[in-house]
Every structure is written in C-alpha cells, then in structure tokens.
Amino acid sequence: MVLAGVAAALAVLLGAAVNAATGAERWPGPLDVVRERPWWSVAAIGSLTVLGAVAAAWIQERAPADGGDPPPPPPPVVPGWFVDRAQAREVVAAVCRDGQAVGITTSLYGAGGFGKTTLATAVAAHRRVRRHFRSRVYTVTIGRDVRGPAAVAAKVAEATRFITGDTTEFDDPELAGAHLGRLLDQRPRTLLVLDDVWETEQLAPFLHGGRRCVRLITTRNPGLLPTGTERIPVDEMTPEQARALLTLELASLPAEVVDGLLQATGRWALLLRLTNRQITEQVATGADPVVAAQRILDQLRAAGPAAVDEPASAWNLDDPRLRNQAVEASIQAAATLLPPGGADRFMELGIFAEDEPIPVSAVALLWRATSSLSEEQTRALCRGLERLSLISLDPRDGGRIRLHDIIRDYLRATLGRDRLARLNGQLVDTVAAQLPPAQPLASVVADPQRAWWELQDHYLLDHLIDHLLAAGRTRDAEGVAGDLRWVETRLTQRGPTAPWNDLDRIDTPYTRPLARSLTQAAHLLTPTTPPRALTTVLHQRLHNHPHWHPQIATRQHDPALRPCLINQWPPPDTPHPAVQRTFVGHAGPVFSVAVAPDGVWLATGSWDGTVRVWDRVTGACTATFTSARGVESVAVAPDGTWLASGGSDGVVRVWDRVTGACTATLTGHASAVSSVAVAPDGTWLASGGDGVVRVWDRVTGACTATLTSTRGEFSVAVAPDGAWLASGGSDGVVRVWDRVTGACTATLTGHGGGVLSVAVAPDGAWLATGGSDGVVRVWDRVTGACTATLTGHGGGVLSVAVAPDGAWLATGGSDGVVRVWDRVTGACTATLTGHASAVSSVAVAPDGAWLATGSSDGTVRVWDSRHVGQLPAPAGQAGSVFSVAVAPDGAWLASGGSDGVVRVWDRVTGACTATLTGHGGGVLSVGVASDGSWLATGSSDGVVRVWDRVTGACTATLTGHGGGVLSVVVAPDGAWLAAGGSDGVVRVWDRVTSTCTATLTGHASAVLSVAVAPDGAWLAAGGEDGMVRVWDRVTGACAATLTGHSDGVLSVGVASDGSWLATGSSDGRVRVWDRVTGACTATLAGHRGGVTSVAVAPVGSWLATTGSDGTVRIWDVMEWDTVAVARADGALHSCAWVGSTLDLMVGGERGVYLFSFLP
C-alpha cells in the first residue's frame, strides 16, 4: 500500500511537470519553479520518489515479527574443525537471494559423510545470513526417526512453536504445514534450515506458504527437492580444504605424508576427520605428530583401496567398494587407540540402527550383557569414541549416540550374521529382565512373555521387533507385535504406520492378516482429542476381527480407558476383506486413478484441483501437483517418468514425475477435458471432452490430429499397438478411430445413454464400455458386434478397467459399488462395497494382483484381487442413513435413509425387524411418540407419514410443505407433531385430526432442525440462515432469536430440564444457549466440518454430537470438554440416546451404529 501511494504521487507530479510546458503562464507560489524548469523538476521529483519507495519497501520488508514470537535462537555453534568451503559461499549467496528453496545435497545418491549438516550449520551462523534475516534463522532437524503422518505433523507443530510460539496442534501433516505457512506469510524474512531430510512426506508440509521464507534443505536424496530448488552438491573436498581439515591443531607435517593421507582418505570429509582425530589423540599423549601421521598412513595404505599404493593416483570416491575399503582401514587404525576391550565394544554397536539417535542407556544395557560394564564405564567409553569421531555424542536427554551409516555398515560386515544374532539376543534379554511378566489377553494369541509396551525409550519401541528378528526370535516377535497393548502403545507413539510396520517386517502367515487389518483402518487412526480416545477408536475399528476381538473384550474393562465409546453392534462400515488400504487427503471428489507401470505408486486426480501421487504400500502421499481447476482425468506414461492430466478448464497438463514440474500445457479444448490416454510408446497422447478427441505430440506439444464427433466425448482409450483409439460420447455411440488417418473406422451403438467409459483388452481383440444406462457392453473389435451385456449396477457405469490377462474386468458405478466380471461367462464374480458415494474411476495393477478405485467420497481404495470373491460383512442396510430415533423404553430403534425406507431394529440383536415403505424420496427425519406406539417420518418428497409401530401400516399422510420435510419432532404428550421444511416453514399438526394447527414463519430459508421443550411449552428451530428461533407453542409467537452461527444450523437439542439448548452448525461449531436469556454460554470446537446432530443425554451430564467428518464426540457439560470419540468411515448424520441408558444410536453414510458410553 505504501508503494502504491508513492507510485500514485509520482504519477501525479510527473503529469503536472510535463503539463507545465503547455499549461498556464504562472503557477501559484513555489510550484512556479516546476513550470519554469519542468524536466529538472521531473528528475528531482522522480529521484526523491524512488528513494521514498525504496525506504518504504525497506520498512515493509523489515517489519518486526509478531510481538508474540519467541526471540530467535542464537547463532549455532560451528565446530572448531570446520573448514570453509566454496559451497558455503554459494549457499550463503543463494539463501540471501531470497529464493524459495536451496538444497545442500550430494551427486552420489544415498551417500553420506560429506559434511552437509556441518555446512548448513556454518551458513546459519554466517554474519551475512544473520544480518540478511535479522537473526530469524531457525534449524529444524528431521532425521529418519520422524516417520508417519503423526510424527511429521508433530515435527511441524514443534517447528511452529519454535518459530512463532503458536501452540495449535494438528494430526494431519498437510494441515499443520498449511498453518505454519500462513503464520510465516505474516512474518518478515526468515531462513528455515531443514536438516537431514529423508523422505518427501517429511519435506512437503514445510513447503506451504511463507512468501518471505527461504528453506535450506540438506538431504542425500536430491530427487525429493522441490521444483525450482537451487541445488548445491557437496562431495569430496578440494585439496586445500582437505589439507586444512587433516592438519587441524597439528604441527607442520611433511608434505609427502599429508599428500599420502589425502589420497588414502579420498578427500572424504568423514575419513579426514577420523584421521585427524586419531593423530591428535596420539599427540595428546606425547607422540611425535610426524610419527603418528606416518603410522596411520601406513595402516591406511596396507588396508585401504589399492589405488593409493600408486603415489600419483587417487582412488575413485564414486566406487562403493573402494569407499568401504577406505572406511575399514580408517576404523581399524582408530581402534588401536581405544582402551582394552574398547574395539570389541565399538564393534558391538553395529547391532543398532544406522544414523539414528541411540540412548546411552540402551548401549549400557548391551555392554552390561557383553562385558559387565557399568553405566559410568559405558559413558566414559562413549566419550572416548566421540573424541575419535567414531560416533557422535549428544549429551541431552540422558545422552544419545549416533552411528554414521557408513561406519555401521562396516561394523555389521565385520561382526557377521551369527555374532549379530547373538548380540541382538543379549540386548533383548537384558531389556526383558527389566520388564514385568505379562500374560496374553486371550488364549488364541501368541504369548508376549513380557510387558514390552511399558518401555519408555522411543528407540527400543521403534526397534524392538528388528532386534528380535535379528536374534532369530520370530515367534517372540509375533507375540509382541500381535498383542493389542503393544499396538496401542505404538499407535499412540508413532501413528498407525508403526504397528503395521512391526507386523509387516515379521511377514509370517500369523502376522499378514493382522497387518492387513491395521492398513484397512489406518486412515481413521489419526491422533484424537483427548489423546487416550485413540485407543478406543482402534478398538472400534478392529472390533470384528477374530484375532483382535477377544483382546478388545478384555481391554475394555480397563478403567484407564474411560470415559469411552465401545461398539454394541458390529459397525456397518467394517472393511470388505479385499480392502488393503484407504488413501485420504483430497478435499473433493476423486475423478481419476492411474497406476504406475511398475505398480509401486499410483496417481489420482480430484475436483480439488490437485493430482496426488501415493506410495502403494504405505499409503503416503509423496507428491501433490496443483492445477488451476478440477482434475477430471489422469494417465501415466509407459516408462512412468511423466503423467498427464485433463482439467475442467479445458487444459491438458504434462507433469514430470520426479520434480513435479508442469512441463507442458496443451490447450485447444473448448470445455472440460474428461479423459486422457497415453500411447503405448509414450510419443503421443489423446484427450477428449468437448465433442472432439485431440491427439498431441509428446515432445512438441503440438496438436497433430482433431477427431470430431457430434457430441461430447467422455472417454478415450488407445489400442495396445497404438494403431487405433476408441472414444465414448454423450450420444451413446462408441467410435473407433484410425490413428494415422484420423478416420472413424467404426461406430458401435447399443447403449441407452451416454458412454461414460471405454477400455481396450490387452490383445486389442475386444473392448468394453460403460454407460449412463447402467450397462457394461463388450464389443468385438473386428466385427463391431456386441458380444456381451453385463447388468447389475444400480446407476450409471462410470469406469471400466480390464485385467492384464484379459480374464476379468472391473467396473465402478454411480451406485458406489465396484463389480468384478468374468470375461468369458459374463458373470459378476464379486461386488465390492465400501465407498460412500459414486465410484468414479477403476484401475488395475500391472500384475493384476490389486485394483484401485477413486470415489466422489474423496477417498481412494486399494483392493486385493485375490480376495474379491469374499462377501462384505454388514447386511440389511441400504444406502446412507439420514436420521435415527429410539423407542422410549429403548427396546427398538428406527432409521430413515436415502433409499426411502424406514427400518426398525431390535436393540439387542441388531436385526432389522420391519421395513416401512411408501415415501417417494429419501427419509430425512424420524420421530417416535412418547408411548412408542407410533412414529412419524419426513421425506424429500414433501410428505410427513405416520406409522403404526405394531402393524407397520401408514395411518396418516400429512401434506402442505412446499418442499422436502427436513425435520420431524413429536410432542412429549404425543398430541401433536411439528415439521420443518425446505420452504422455511415450521408446521404443527394435530396427531388425531391430522390437521395443520399452526404455521410458524420467520426463517429466511430452509428449516433444517426442530426440537421441542420437555414440557412441550416451546419449540426451537434451526435454519439454513444460521438462526435459531424459539417459538411459543400456544401463541405461535417467536419468543427469541439466537444468533452467532456463521452458517446453517443443522441440529437443535434441548436439555432434559429445558434450561438450555445446544445447536450444531455447518460452521463446525456447537453452541450452547441459555434458554431464558438467550445468551451463548459456550462454543465447542472439535469437528472438522459441519456438526450434523446434537443430542443431550437423558441421564448424566453428557452431550453427543456427530459430524460430516465421520466422528462422534461426547462432551462433559460441566467443563465442555470432549471426553470420548468414535470414528466412522464416512460422514455421520444423526444421533440419539437410547432410552434412559447411555447407549447411543448413530446414523451415517454407511448405515447404523450402536455404541455404549462408559463414563
């Protein structure tokens, strides 16, 4: 704004000066100087204005940070042995240019020991950098131990507190990163040093926002650096740098000795430092430096790379074999300086994890077992190893050592398999001796023997399974990893990936199904508030599994888990046995899924405008490519190096798989591109959408052919030999096109609506199409005849995919179902359910072992094709449940859903005992009479129906609403009922006469919820206008209007004594209101999305809420804190307490749930 004002002033003054040449004869006062000397005035005014602009920009850029920020940390301490390198100056210059990111990496993928971290430390302490960023330089060490979304999110939160003081917590790394980015956007220049980054998922959250933030990244994996990063490789040192490091703190050494040592170490920073420390340690005891240096050189030449025997040659640092040989020689030389037994103890460190902090206490346990060393002796030996640079030692948190992976590799190779097994066994036995015995939770599970879950050290928790397996104790590992208490501990500690990794690493017939059960639920096992609720969410999600269920039954008696929600019925969203994993992260419907040629990763496109790349095994999102508009189609190149996407903006974009850069933008379509396909040789691609199929040259981006039909083309597929392609259009016709001539060689007709998907068989002999008519048709390529018609979907067939061997095909429909069909017989061999909405895309793995589906519910699911014939668990529930209600005595429950059916359920057995039909649309609300003899329902068909509970007959039909009936409530005495509709009106009906006795108006739009006071004296209604209106039942007057919500009020609930009411809104908040004063006494936040239902418990001080985020929350009404959480695999719409108990009925996208609340 300052700059804009200065520019405006400059324009005005310049205009005035120029106008002086033709203006009035004389200007008033001093301004006449401008008239007399216009061009001198232009120069003077321009110069002053530029100076003012520069000053304004300087002030803006150097604005102080938020007053609440903690003071920036002091400059880091640069090791005294650091040798300045040219790369340091490059990095200093790069970060001070205020680019987005600078990467210190290595040209040798995966290689370490070159000094990247030390270099970054020196840059962070550099005077120019400190001055440029006004000391706002922050270092965040990532490291390998930050694994999984929960750990990454915690690391981002830690960085946020470190930089800004903000303590907001997130369980999703992307949300945490976006929050940090917004905070950085509000702050002046900042340098964020991200040290020791291993994975893309660790880095991605730190790249959000922060327009004045420069990221300095150190990594040995240059492939994970974001597009546009200035990369500065750090490999071997120059001769001058190497000489300075080698001779640090040493007297003058003969040139030939120094040159020999430089050759023997390959000028490798790691070995140079090791060699220097060996010499200085000997000199410290009185040894002659020349003799000490010569002795070490002789040792290196005797055991190091053969090339150093030739004085004129230098060994090749790129050769891993020679690198290993040099490390071996250096370590052997250093080991001679250790005290008796020290070399053996050092070798034993090879059993620990590489390049990861290892507690000194864990080392002490090992050395106590192998040599009876005390903890004091262990610490002394660790200090000696650190002085020789064989390990790094951090005294914080009780002391932790770190082994460089290069050194660890040498130690492990030297120890050999048998000794490694023996040492791992000794460590495990010593740890076990400190833990109490433990019995299995159920007789059907393996015996854990010890209470391993009571371990407090994160290293031992992370690596216990590794040490057990390395000791050859697979059965013991099964007992630990398969114990529910261990899973609970690991889940809380590291997130769902940790217990799954434990089971997956064991990889036995016993653990494989257990690992699968965790991957199926992983997307629902993110951190909760309160944290202990995560354990009960785990129990809820594993409830039906035969291995976990008996353990859960035992654990639920633990009072430490309370308050909690436990399953009374098996959840309706129990995963299909074929589900391997569910990917969540898109903020909108997923329209397209494509699998990489090697099957290692898959790409998805969504209406949220992003293409996401997912790791097939872990489910981690490894890359996100952002488009301008919604992404409707994705295709992967045959070599997997690039992918193409088609968007709702009519543009085809080509993305580099590694860098994430958009390498080409192909324009020409007049409307949305609904399909993209790549040629088998990757030289061209085709896209369809606006009645035209366009063929594009991959290299030049030129449109080489335009294939025109009469209507829009929904789908394009290319033949395996690339000689022809097929398209399906909105006119119901499948067209086959010659690739060379562009001629339409065949038209296949038969669909009764648009052709939404086309797939070609692997041998090109036939093709399959799916239509809006709900039919899959198989066509002979040569004759054009329809050879099979596959029916079964309850709506349009949105996607078709063929198995690699052509033996089967899979289809996804608008009915939310995936169907698998036998190619020869045409029989439907499997029906896969689990998506809460339309299945927009299906893709089959290259080996046919699994398939992936994308849905309008925003999720991607991976299915094991070997299990597709198994039946899904829940039955009797069809479609989404919008409303639930409970009989006064709690003996039965009722639900209304999207299929227009009212179902009555037995409370004890969970069986559906009656189905009430008659509505012509979805049943949006259910209310039960106080004596339980009848119930009332409201529907999108605009009708309220009253049903006899015993006979199931519809005894009354109440009409009058000008739209859907969104809410129905019955008076406490059963004499009347009230209904709110999309017409914005609340109508009151006499139960006996079925006449409308009152019409309550005032809401500006739809009435979404109605509730009645316990004495029936008043009722409250929540509207789409964000208002809550309280009406006097007798007079019909609006007694109060409660405002505060920023979006529609979806639900209203009244306390049992009528003194207060609660409301849930699309704004994600629950508000509590005093009935008399109308004041908002509490605002409850926790749901991530609309609060769809609120219910006040008839006994106790509890409030239940459900949300579109798929969570149930129980709130303590005394403190207004969340005390218990349940999660479902889909949005939840309604909840109701069961009679006078603390059982809770919930309805959602996937059906009906019944929980018990244990306070």
**653, exposed or middle or buried, with CB in 10 Å at 0-12, 13-18, 19+?**
buried
Contact 409, 515 (CB under 8 A): no
Q: Which of 468-482, 656-670, 936-950 has the lowest mean pLDDT?
A: 656-670
pLDDT band at 521 (very low <50, low <70, confident <90, very high): very high
**Overall average pLDDT of the 440-446 stretch:** 89
Q: Which of 224-233, 236-245, 863-872, 938-947 has the lowest mean pLDDT?
A: 863-872
pLDDT band at 101 (very low <50, low <70, confident <90, very high): confident
Contact 1026, 1046 (CB under 8 A): yes
**What are the respective helix, strand and coil percentages of the chain, to the nearest 5?**
30, 30, 40
Contact 345, 371 (CB under 8 A): yes
CATH topology of domain 583-867: Methylamine Dehydrogenase; Chain H (2.130.10)
Return the structure tokens found at 1014: 């316990």
The CA distances from residue 196 to 125, 692, 1145, in Å, are: 18, 49, 49
Domain residue extents for the chain: 2-61, 86-233, 237-337, 435-561, 583-867, 881-1105
pLDDT at 26: 62
Amino acid sitting at position 911: A
String of DSSP letters for 177-226: HHHHHHHHHTSS-EEEEEES---HHHHGGGGSS-TTEEEEEE-S-GGGSP
Cα angle 458, 463, 467 (rounded to 5 degrees) comes to: 140
Domain 86-233 has CATH 3.40.50.300: yes
Task: Give the phi and the psi of residue 783 in degrees, each rounded to 5.
Answer: -85, -20
Q: Backbone dihedral region of 1058: left (phi > 0), alpha (psi from -120 to 50 degrees) or beta? A: left
Query: In which residue are the tokens 């394009």 written?
Result: 716
Please tell me which residue, 111 or 1099, carries the higher pLDDT value. 1099
Residues 570-624 pLDDT 10s: 999 998 889 999 999 899 999 999 999 999 899 999 999 999 999 888 788 888 8
For residue 3, pLDDT beyond 50: no
For residue 871, pLDDT beyond 70: no
Please tell me which residue, 170 or 563, carries the higher pLDDT value. 563
For residue 663, pLDDT beyond 80: yes
pLDDT at 1139: 87
Residues 187-206 pLDDT 10s: 899 999 999 888 888 998 99
Return the structure tokens found at 483: 């114990």
pLDDT at 266: 80
Return the structure tokens found at 164: 């800004």
The CA distances from residue 845 to 302, 700, 812, in Å, are: 53, 30, 16
**Is there a common fold for 583-867 and 881-1105?**
yes
Query: In which residue are the tokens 């120059």 written?
Result: 238
Q: Which of 230-239, 931-940, 953-962 has the lowest mean pLDDT?
A: 230-239
What angle do the packed helices 360-371 and 375-387 form, to 10 degrees? 110
Dist CA 275 CA 248 (whole Å): 11
Return the structure tokens found at 662: 């958009």
Mean pLDDT (the chain, rounded): 89
Dist CA 730 CA 710 (whole Å): 9
- Beta strands across the sheet bearing 954-958: 923-928, 934-939, 944-948, 954-958
**Overall average pLDDT of the 21-50 stretch:** 59
For residue 786, pLDDT beyond 80: yes
Peptide bond into 440 cis (omega under 30): no
Dist CA 550 CA 141 (whole Å): 42
For residue 822, pLDDT beyond 80: yes
Return the structure tokens found at 812: 């996804």
Q: Rounding to the nearest 10 degrees, give the CA dihedral for residues 869, 870, 873, 877.
A: 20
Please tell me which residue, 847 or 169, carries the higher pLDDT value. 847
Query: In which residue are the tokens 């070609």 written?
Result: 760
The CA distances from residue 70 to 119, 127, 156, in Å, are: 26, 21, 16
Q: Which of 430-434, 626-630, 1127-1131 has the lowest mean pLDDT?
A: 626-630
Contact 961, 1005 (CB under 8 A): no
**Overall average pLDDT of the 1040-1067 stretch:** 97
pLDDT at 21: 45
pLDDT at 33: 60
String of DSSP letters for 689-740: -SSEEEEEETTT--EEEEEE-SS-EEEEEE-TTSSEEEEEETTS-EEEEETT
pLDDT band at 9 (very low <50, low <70, confident <90, very high): very low
What CATH number was assigned to the domain covering residues 881-1105? Answer: 2.130.10.10
